[in-house]
Amino acid sequence: MLLLVARYTIKLEITLNMLNKKYNWDYNLKKNWKPKTDRQWLWYLERKINYDDYKGLERKMIKKYFFQLEKRLDPGKRAMFKYYFWKK
């Protein structure tokens, strides 16, 4: 019984922590990894933007790939970047 309670307590703590932050755990990149191909750039930018990790992003790269990224982005972030780049 104690093990069952401990398991649910840990699960509840993890769930509550995940509500406060967005976690992106499905890949493990080296610190010095940089995208090389267009496909890698689209994947990288989409992940960084949709998970609110703007650190290290360059304006010129987002603008370069924006029209290809547009359909892959969260609607709020899409509107934010449209306004940021084109003030519409």
The model's pLDDT over 31-87, given as tens digits with 9 standing for 90+, comes to 788 899 999 999 999 988 988 888 888 999 999 999 999 999 999 999 999 998 888
What are the pLDDT digits (tens) for 11-25? 545 554 555 555 555
Task: Output the CA angle 49-50-52, nearest 5 degrees.
Answer: 65
Task: Output the CA angle 13-20-17, nearest 5 degrees.
Answer: 15
Please report the pLDDT score of residue 29 as a whole number.
Answer: 76
Give the position of tokens 């509500």. 19
Please report the pLDDT score of residue 37 as a whole number.
Answer: 96
Query: Is the pTM of the predicted complex or chain greater than 0.75?
Result: no
CA dist., res. 32 & res. 88, Å (int): 36
The Cα-based distances of 50 to 3, 87, 88 in angstroms read 37, 21, 21
- Coil, helix or strand at residue 6: helix
Contact 62, 41 (CB under 8 A): no
- At residue 4 the predicted structure's pLDDT band, cuts being 50, 70 and 90, is very low
Please report the pLDDT score of residue 2 as a whole number.
Answer: 46
